[in-house]
Amino acid sequence: MRQPSETAHGPTYHNTFTRDSVDSRIWSIATEPKFGIGQRAMLLQTKDGNVLWDLIALLDAETIEFVRLLLHSIQHVVYQA
């Protein structure tokens, strides 16, 4: 896991990807350092498609690459407004 770094304009944000220790189909995606209200997204891999529960605070190139390489795509997004 990377440590957040400071620039002249404030912290540099990035996402962390953590696989659940009990159910390997579940991934947590969190932005560091915490951004906004500090929410995290949960990503569930299923044979019928991948489900993203809640929204990701930071959608950067590394996160897009993670989804493409590991999961290929996201079929469903679930969130509450």
Condensed to tens digits (0 to 9), the pLDDT of residues 45-58 reads 888 888 888 888 88
The one-character DSSP state at 54 is S
Q: Determine the Cα–Cα distance for residues 57 and 33; give it in Å rounded to an integer.
A: 11
Mean pLDDT to the nearest integer, 66-72:
79
CB 4 within 8 A of CB 12: yes
Q: Tell whether pTM > 0.85.
A: no
User: Which residue is it, tokens 């498609």?
Assistant: 49
Q: Determine the Cα–Cα distance for residues 43 and 55; give it in Å rounded to an integer.
A: 10
Q: How distant, in Å, are the alpha carbons of 7, 8, 21, 22, 71 from that of 56?
A: 23, 25, 21, 22, 16
